[in-house]
Amino acid sequence: MPKFFVFVPPVMSPRRRPGETKRALFSQVLSNCDVVECILASFGSTASKAGRVSRLWLEAAQQVLARCRVVELEASIGTYWSTDEVYFDEDGVMRAMPERDVQDFGLEVTCAAGFMVATPTGLLVSDSNNHRVLVLDPTGQPERSIEWTGYPGSVAFGFDSIFAESYDFGNPSRIQRRSFSGEDVGFPSSPARVFFIRIVGESLFVVGESIPPLVGVVHEYEAETASFVRVFCTESKIVMSMADVGETLLMLVPGQHDDERYVSTYSLVTGELWTRCVVPDNTIAIEAQNDRLFAATTRLPHERGVLHVMLLDGTPLQELEVHATGGPLDLCVAHGKLYCLCNVDYSEEACFEWDETVDEYTPLGGDEEMRALCIYSLVGASQHF
pLDDT at 23: 60
Closest to 280 in 3D by CA, of 237, 317, 249, 335: 317
pLDDT at 318: 92
In this predicted model, what pLDDT tens digit does every residue of 144-160 receive, in sequence order?
999 888 889 999 999 99
pLDDT at 60: 75
In this predicted model, what pLDDT tens digit does every residue of 290-331 receive, in sequence order?
889 999 999 999 999 999 999 999 989 999 999 999 999 999
More confident residue, 306 or 166: 306
For residues 130 and 113, is the Cβ–Cβ distance under 8 A? no
Question: Given a cut of 70, is residue 250 above it in pLDDT?
Answer: yes
Report d(CA 300, CA 113) in Å as an integer: 16
More confident residue, 250 or 185: 250
More confident residue, 296 or 182: 296
Q: How many CB atoms lie within 10 A of CB 361?
A: 16
Each domain of the chain, given as residue ranges in start order, spans 74-378
Question: Given a cut of 80, is residue 32 above it in pLDDT?
Answer: no
For residues 164 and 182, is the Cβ–Cβ distance under 8 A? no
pLDDT at 24: 58
Least confident of 209-213, 222-226, 294-298: 209-213
Position 375 confidence tier, pLDDT thresholds 50, 70, 90: very high
In this predicted model, what pLDDT tens digit does every residue of 327-347 receive, in sequence order?
999 999 999 999 999 999 988
Position 385 confidence tier, pLDDT thresholds 50, 70, 90: very low
More confident residue, 45 or 315: 315
In this predicted model, what pLDDT tens digit does every residue of 263-281 receive, in sequence order?
999 999 999 999 999 999 9
pLDDT at 121: 94
In this predicted model, what pLDDT tens digit does every residue of 73-125 receive, in sequence order?
999 999 998 877 655 667 666 555 656 677 777 888 887 778 999 999 999 99
Q: Does domain 74-378 have CATH number 2.120.10.30?
A: yes
pLDDT at 89: 62
Report d(CA 196, CA 39) in Å as an integer: 39
Query: In percent, how much of the chain has pLDDT > 70?
Result: 83
pLDDT at 98: 57
pLDDT at 299: 94
Question: Given a cut of 90, is residue 199 above it in pLDDT?
Answer: yes
Percent helix, strand, coil in the chain, to 5, is: 15, 40, 45
Instruction: Report CA torsion sign: 97, 98, 100, 104.
Output: negative
Spatial CB neighbours of 262, under 8 Å, sequence gap ≥ 6: 252, 253, 255, 276, 277, 278, 279
Query: In percent, how much of the chain has pLDDT > 90?
Result: 48
What interhelical angle do 55-67 and 33-41 show, nearest 10? Answer: 50
Question: Given a cut of 70, is residue 13 above it in pLDDT?
Answer: no
In this predicted model, what pLDDT tens digit does every residue of 282-298 receive, in sequence order?
999 999 998 899 999 99
Question: Given a cut of 60, is residue 247 above it in pLDDT?
Answer: yes
pLDDT at 99: 61
pTM: 0.84
